Amino acid sequence: MILLDNVTVQVPGWRAPITILHNQTVLFRKRARVSILAPAGSGRTTLARVLGGVKRPMRGRVFIEGSVGWPIGFSGLLNPMLTLAENIAHVAGLLHVTSGEIGAVVAWFCDSDKILERRVMTLAPSERALAVFAISLAVPVDHLIADDKIMVSDTRIAARSEQLLRRRLDGAGLIFLSRNAKLLERWCDEHYVLLNGSLRAVADPTEGQCLLDAQAKTEIAEFNDV
């Protein structure tokens, strides 16, 4: 369960802080698969960090029951100068699991044991993407967070990445933030749209997209009037 209790999230702006969420109270139930439709530049990554418990909101509180992963496919954890195995050992050490557990998932996912001994800087971008995807899903958590990326784009691996993701979703919740309404609809069954600092519940992401389009038209009209 993740509860946003009267939460306001802001990021520093050029002249004044930019509000991403304003006084929002929302409950994401245990094992719920929640989509948040949010356009580019609306604060999706910041909101993912708040929901992941790594950023404090400006006001209000975030209650997280259970464990939360970092955004699926987040690549920043890999140091390019180290081998994949060394990077995995560090992630495993911080998560208090054995590196073998993560390494086995990565080796299976990448279809190679040898990849673990290679320096990250020698990996092709596609290999790196596979590795970070597998690392982010290697340890089971109660809540998965996806910030725009939820699957690897490599069609050869698509079936395997779906298998891994579905396995991890077994008994876990998902909060998926994206601007892609179709993808959100595929993976989630509760839907929200991030609109003017509020998380508005909608029937499906298509309805959310209509609201975003209507808002964009209004803003363009106001701009033209000025």
Partner 1 sequence: MVFSGASTRAARTNIAPWPARIATLVQRERKTRFAGGRLGALWAYITPVTWVGFVVLFYRFTGRHAPLDAGLEIFVAVGFLPYIIFRQTITSMSRGAISNRAMLVIRGVRVGDLLTASAVQELINSLVLMTVVLGGISLLFGARPPADIARAVEGIACAWLLGVGLGRMLAVVSLMSDTIFRMIPIILRPTFWISGIFYTAHELLGPIYDILAWSPLLHATEILREGYFLGYRSPLSDARFVLVVALVPYVISFPLEMILVRRDVSRYRS
Binding residues for partner 1 (CB under 8 A): 10-12, 45-46, 49, 52-56, 58, 66-71, 74, 76-77, 79, 81-82, 86, 89-91, 93-97, 101, 104-105, 108, 139-142, 167, 171-172
- The DSSP code for 40 is T
Q: How far is the CB of 55 from partner 1 (least distance, A)?
A: 7
d(CA 17, CA 30): 32
Q: How far is the CB of 41 from partner 1 (least distance, A)?
A: 12
Burial class (CB in 10 A: 0-12, 13-18, 19+), 159: exposed
Q: How far is the CB of 99 from partner 1 (least distance, A)?
A: 10
Q: Which is nearer to partner 1, 107 or 202 (CB)?
A: 107
**Rounded alpha-carbon distances, angstroms, from residue 82 to 16, 70, 95:** 40, 21, 19
Q: How far is the CB of 60 from partner 1 (least distance, A)?
A: 13
Q: How far is the CB of 79 from partner 1 (least distance, A)?
A: 5
CB contact at 8 A, 53 and 71: no
Which alpha helices (DSSP H) does the chain contain, by range? 44-51, 84-95, 99-110, 125-138, 158-169, 181-187, 205-225
Q: Which is nearer to partner 1, 69 or 208 (CB)?
A: 69
CB contact at 8 A, 6 and 59: yes
β-bridge mates for residue 24, sequence order:
7
CB contact at 8 A, 45 and 9: no
Q: Which is nearer to partner 1, 66 or 213 (CB)?
A: 66
Q: Which is nearer to partner 1, 65 or 213 (CB)?
A: 65
Q: Which is nearer to partner 1, 41 or 222 (CB)?
A: 41
